[in-house]
Structure 1
Amino acid sequence: MKATVIGGGPAGYVSALVMRRLGAEVFLIEKEEIGGTCLNRGCIPTKTIIHNLKHACSSIDLEILMEKKDKIVDTQKKGLMMLLKQTGVKIVQSEAELVNPKTVFLKNTQETIQADKIIIATGSRPRELPMLNFDGEKILSSDDLWMLKKIPKSITIIGAGAIGCEFAWIFYLLGSKVTLVELMPRVLPMEDEDVSKEVEKLFKKRKIEFYTAVKIEDLEKMDNSVQITLSNGKIVTSEIVLVSVGRAFNTECIKTSEIKIGSKKEIVVNERMQSNVENIFAAGDVTGQWLLAHVAYREAEVAAKNAMGYNEKMDYSVIPSTIFTVSEVGSVGLKEKEATEKGINIKKGIFPFRASGKAHIIEEIDGFVKVIADRDSDTIVGAHIVGADASELIHELAVAVKLKAKAKQLKDLIHSHPTLSECVGEALKDLFDEAIHKIK
């Protein structure tokens, strides 16, 4: 079996590793850097910056900060390259085009690769808006930010979703004046409403400005700033503008009309991650599903195994998501509104971090754990956390949602003391009005 993977990000390199370990001869084609957006410009760099800024004891040196980020990225990249080579994956540095279902054209060398199975994992890129075209100087994408040579005194961020809120936190920690602008009625509009309210409260506490339910009416570039007029009449002025309003899918490499492309330019796949062409599979952002690296990993496993003759199905029903902003956010399963709209007779358990000894020890007492259960069946259907280490804590509850666990089964589980995980245990008890350390 000869297989080719186009794209070396999370979905691409995992696809290559899985197929190689199952016995295929695998070519992995990447035009830029192995690791894709996540490793080079997204997940790893942003979390490295946040960690270092939160623990900074003196004034911030942007050059040193970027050197630390680069060192971690380079270390991860070298490890990944070693893993791929030791596994026997053949790495090709080139821009690629899929010219027909069995042929990939390498633009750098003008050669072609024939393959029995092909997985497209070309990812996505920051999406532009008509009035906000990236110029690399004043109107920036999240990719452009890594080229900054100095910390801006002020920044306006268009879009208060996960990316916008993470960069709002980064620039606040850097000392910039931050303003968020969001079309939807609330910050983090895709999260549970209680999560949005808590994050908005924490932004206000730190004087991070935000305007929700507004449109951009006008934009004017000046010598040293950008002036934006909002639909509520407010004029916002800042040195630079970050546009974080979603992602565009990288399907330009597909030069054959045989593969079905969706209305958003995504590759249309079935639950096996297979396109309408039998030997062509796709995984990661380019499929237009959940634009998360950990989802891409699983999509890649499913695509690769099915390309090798298995019959696996992708399950999107239980996906934990995390946001690293003013306080970490972790979510899984149904939001409260979703559960209610599905006709579920819900009950909620909520426990504040402020009542946790460990939260006081680490001086991070903001936030809460919220667990949602079906009152009739006692099944846990969702959970949402705002607070320290929410990105880690959410996985205990993800297991509960995945296994359709009963709240009564878990409420008496003993959690080690003093830990933040005790907040999860108390929230489970609160479903039955039995939380021990919660003031009624």
Structure 2
Amino acid sequence: MEKYDLAVIGSGPGGFSAAVRALDFGKDVCLIEAGHVGGAGVMNGALTSKTMWELSHDYAVAAAVDRGYRASGLQVDFTKVKKSVMKAAKTKQYQILSQIETYSQKPGQKGSLTIKYGFASFKDRNTLEIDRGKKEDKETIEADYIIIATGSSPRELPDLKVDQKRIINSDGILNLKKFPERMMIIGSGIIGCEFATIFSNFGHTEVHLLDRAHRVIPFADNDVSDFVSGNLQKNGVVIHHTANLRTVNKKKDYLEVVLDYEDGHSTVIEVDVVLVSIGRDPNTKGLGLENVNIQTTPHGYLKVNEECATGDFDNCNIFAAGDVTGHKALYCVAEEQGRFIVEAIFGELEYPTDYSHMPTLMFFKPEVASVGVNEKILQEKKIPYKAAFYSNEMVNRTIAMRNTNGFVKVLVSDDGRDRILGMQAAGPQASAFIVSVSYLMNSESGMNEVLRSIHPHPSVTEGIQECFRVFNKRSIFKPEAFPDKIKSWAWKPLELQSEKS
């Protein structure tokens, strides 16, 4: 039986980052993968969907006719789009494999990385059985420490069976042979809205989006949700608010989708493909958790502590990273957790993982980014705050780019310290400059420290600079002259308002 310092179940962002970080400590690592190398972070997930978004974005820009030029003979072939997406995924997969081979066991080498394919399950706290699908093809390994990084899978609707042909989830997007003429997307969260953006960008699909609530992206502030919804509709997406799916009737050449609305009426819509996008569930089944006395939550997540351990850190050798932990299902969260666990086990932690400042990117049209808390969270926690809004219509760089559809919205504490609590931004380069605000939040910088920096001109980040200046009434352009483009407001819980009065 082979023995390792660390075994990692799952080669996604959490598992791979953990395995590689352990190499830095000179450890022998076994990485176990049951499916695609890189997990959903590479295949059928973040990388493939964002590659599709980039291609659709480029196509939409090329097809635009409001910039003084018009492309002639513009065509798009879904088969070639898929090939480009797969090429991107394969590029990252072979980078991962190349690194694994570089650090495979070699004479005299301190630290090694071995990959084994199959389904892993616990025999006991230090022993894993790897099942490759055949009864006689099983292997058992031992490890001092084990990390569960098995990720998640698309959540299923109880009465709607996904066949990955006409009724698909995100894993089945690349099974499509061509652009569907009509598509119904069930679910108006981030993934549903991203795919609605992608297919509407290409302009070959009539896209319907089912929204059970009154707004898409229900966890976002209402103004951000309305911004996303309005842009989807401008892009041709038909949003069915306050609608519930009753049934999908399969016909020979099409699907009949029956929707029931909050006001009592129903609608039947004919489509070619139904995409189910209602969230994801953790992959914890079949791990043999009962053999190591690890319990899951009612939703299947693993209970972990601050060190991502499944028990008391000093007496625990089994950890978890990524989607299975129930924290934000983000690539960056999984990656950070994987590294964090290894540092906790084999080294000294320099700083704790802070989930409150994890940035989130949403690939819509335009892209939307956020970091920290939003107004809904602050109001729920009854925390007083001040807010400022600055439209990209006032920013010279976005004007020059002919791409002013976006904004910066900043929230700061209303306690005399003016600490940065959160930011939402939309428009070009939002995914890039959100990181600078995340850094400022981690350093607990206040508004005055931010205003000391001079931004280059013309740059998109000048919108951030001006947004902060709005708080102190120092902005170059004033809210009084542009009330729909530059705004500021404050909020306090009723009890504090009463005390002040």
Question: Residues 120-150 of structure 1: CA distance to partner in whole angstroms, max 9, x if unpaired?
Answer: 1000010101122211222101010111111
The equivalent position to 2:120 in structure 1, one of 83, 86, 96, is 96
Q: Which residue of structure 2 aligns with residue 220 of structure 1?
A: 249
Task: Please report how far the alpha carbon of residue 309 of structure 1 lies from its aligned counterpart in structure 2 after TM superposition.
Answer: 5.6
Task: Please report how far the alpha carbon of residue 114 of structure 1 lies from its aligned counterpart in structure 2 after TM superposition.
Answer: 0.8
Structure 2: distance between partners of 1:176 and 1:133: 23
**Residues 466 and 476 of structure 2 are in contact (CA less than 8 Å); yes or no, is this contact kept in structure 1?**
yes
Q: For structure 1, which segment, 284-293 or 392-401, has the greater mean C-alpha deviation from structure 2 after superposition? A: 392-401
With normalisation by structure 1, the TM-score equals 0.96
**Secondary structure in 2 aligned to 1:47?**
helix
Give the gaps of 5 or more residues in structure 2: 63-73, 104-111, 484-501
Q: For structure 1, which segment, 423-432 or 46-55, has the greater mean C-alpha deviation from structure 2 after superposition? A: 46-55
Q: Which residue of structure 2 aligns with residue 6 of structure 1?
A: 9
Structure 1: distance between partners of 2:428 and 2:159: 37
Asked if 1:284 is matched to 2:284, the reply is: no
Q: Which residue of structure 2 aligns with residue 178 of structure 1?
A: 207
Q: Which residue of structure 2 aligns with residue 18 of structure 1?
A: 21
Q: Which residue of structure 2 aligns with residue 366 of structure 1?
A: 405
The aligned amino acid for 1:107 is: D
Structure 1: distance between partners of 2:212 and 2:364: 19
**Secondary structure in 2 aligned to 1:33?**
coil
With normalisation by structure 2, the TM-score equals 0.84
Task: Please report how far the alpha carbon of residue 412 of structure 1 lies from its aligned counterpart in structure 2 after TM superposition.
Answer: 4.3
Structure 1: distance between partners of 2:192 and 2:281: 16
Q: For structure 1, which segment, 22-31 or 301-310, has the greater mean C-alpha deviation from structure 2 after superposition? A: 301-310
The equivalent position to 2:305 in structure 1, one of 253, 270, 284, is 270
**Residues 165 and 175 of structure 2 are in contact (CA less than 8 Å); yes or no, is this contact kept in structure 1?**
no
Structure 2: distance between partners of 1:152 and 1:179: 12
Q: Which residue of structure 2 aligns with residue 37 of structure 1?
A: 40
Q: Which residue of structure 1 aligns with residue 129 of structure 2?
A: 105
Distance change in 2, residues 1:149/1:427 (3 Å): same
Question: Residues 356-402 of structure 1: CA distance to partner in whole angstroms, max 9, x if unpaired?
Answer: 22212322211210001112221110100121221112112112222
Structure 1: distance between partners of 2:199 and 2:223: 24
Asked if 1:75 is matched to 2:91, the reply is: yes
Q: For structure 1, which segment, 235-244 or 48-57, has the greater mean C-alpha deviation from structure 2 after superposition? A: 48-57
**Residues 98 and 253 of structure 1 are in contact (CA less than 8 Å); yes or no, is this contact kept in structure 2?**
no
Q: Which residue of structure 2 aligns with residue 253 of structure 1?
A: 286
**Residues 198 and 386 of structure 1 are in contact (CA less than 8 Å); yes or no, is this contact kept in structure 2?**
no
Q: Which residue of structure 2 aligns with residue 85 of structure 1?
A: 101
Q: Which residue of structure 2 aligns with residue 236 of structure 1?
A: 269
**Residues 381 and 404 of structure 1 are in contact (CA less than 8 Å); yes or no, is this contact kept in structure 2?**
no
**Secondary structure in 2 aligned to 1:360?**
helix
The aligned amino acid for 1:391 is: S
Structure 2: distance between partners of 1:138 and 1:147: 10
Q: Which residue of structure 2 aligns with residue 394 of structure 1?
A: 434
**Residues 192 and 384 of structure 1 are in contact (CA less than 8 Å); yes or no, is this contact kept in structure 2?**
no
**Residues 323 and 334 of structure 2 are in contact (CA less than 8 Å); yes or no, is this contact kept in structure 1?**
yes
Asked if 1:306 is matched to 2:344, the reply is: yes
**Residues 281 and 307 of structure 1 are in contact (CA less than 8 Å); yes or no, is this contact kept in structure 2?**
no
**Residues 184 and 210 of structure 2 are in contact (CA less than 8 Å); yes or no, is this contact kept in structure 1?**
yes
Asked if 1:129 is matched to 2:164, the reply is: no
What does 1:322-341 correspond to in 2, within 5 Å? 322-341=361-380
Asked if 1:406 is matched to 2:446, the reply is: yes
The equivalent position to 2:186 in structure 1, one of 140, 158, 168, is 158
Task: Please report how far the alpha carbon of residue 310 of structure 1 lies from its aligned counterpart in structure 2 after TM superposition.
Answer: 4.2
The equivalent position to 2:81 in structure 1, one of 65, 72, 94, is 65
Q: Which residue of structure 2 aligns with residue 381 of structure 1?
A: 421
Distance change in 2, residues 1:19/1:220 (3 Å): same
Structure 2: distance between partners of 1:162 and 1:295: 16
Q: Which residue of structure 2 aligns with residue 168 of structure 1?
A: 196
**Secondary structure in 2 aligned to 1:89?**
strand
**Residues 307 and 341 of structure 2 are in contact (CA less than 8 Å); yes or no, is this contact kept in structure 1?**
yes
Asked if 1:149 is matched to 2:187, the reply is: no
**Residues 405 and 427 of structure 2 are in contact (CA less than 8 Å); yes or no, is this contact kept in structure 1?**
yes
Give the gaps of 5 or more residues in structure 1: none
Question: Residues 81-135 of structure 1: CA distance to partner in whole angstroms, max 9, x if unpaired?
Answer: 2223324311112222222211111112311001110001000010101122211
**Secondary structure in 2 aligned to 1:436?**
coil
Structure whose alpha-carbon radius of gyration is higher: 2
**Secondary structure in 1 aligned to 2:122?**
strand
Structure 1: distance between partners of 2:47 and 2:96: 14
Task: Please report how far the alpha carbon of residue 296 of structure 1 lies from its aligned counterpart in structure 2 after TM superposition.
Answer: 0.4
Q: For structure 1, which segment, 282-291 or 92-101, has the greater mean C-alpha deviation from structure 2 after superposition? A: 92-101
**Secondary structure in 2 aligned to 1:49?**
helix
Length, aligned pairs only: 440
Q: For structure 1, which segment, 161-170 or 332-341, has the greater mean C-alpha deviation from structure 2 after superposition? A: 332-341
**In percent, how many aligned pairs have the same letter?**
31
Q: For structure 1, which segment, 34-43 or 82-91, has the greater mean C-alpha deviation from structure 2 after superposition? A: 82-91
Structure 2: distance between partners of 1:271 and 1:153: 48
Asked if 1:139 is matched to 2:178, the reply is: no
Task: Please report how far the alpha carbon of residue 14 of structure 1 lies from its aligned counterpart in structure 2 after TM superposition.
Answer: 0.6
**Secondary structure in 2 aligned to 1:115?**
strand
Structure 2: distance between partners of 1:318 and 1:188: 19
**Secondary structure in 2 aligned to 1:317?**
helix
Question: Residues 11-44 of structure 1: CA distance to partner in whole angstroms, max 9, x if unpaired?
Answer: 0111111112212210001122211111111111
The aligned amino acid for 1:117 is: Y
**Secondary structure in 1 aligned to 2:327?**
coil
Structure 2: distance between partners of 1:167 and 1:33: 22
The aligned amino acid for 2:86 is: D
The equivalent position to 2:216 in structure 1, one of 187, 203, 209, is 187
Structure 2: distance between partners of 1:313 and 1:223: 56
Asked if 1:46 is matched to 2:49, the reply is: yes
Q: For structure 1, which segment, 380-389 or 206-215, has the greater mean C-alpha deviation from structure 2 after superposition? A: 206-215
Task: Please report how far the alpha carbon of residue 189 of structure 1 lies from its aligned counterpart in structure 2 after TM superposition.
Answer: 1.1
**Residues 371 and 427 of structure 1 are in contact (CA less than 8 Å); yes or no, is this contact kept in structure 2?**
yes
Q: For structure 1, which segment, 221-230 or 139-148, has the greater mean C-alpha deviation from structure 2 after superposition? A: 221-230
**Secondary structure in 1 aligned to 2:42?**
helix
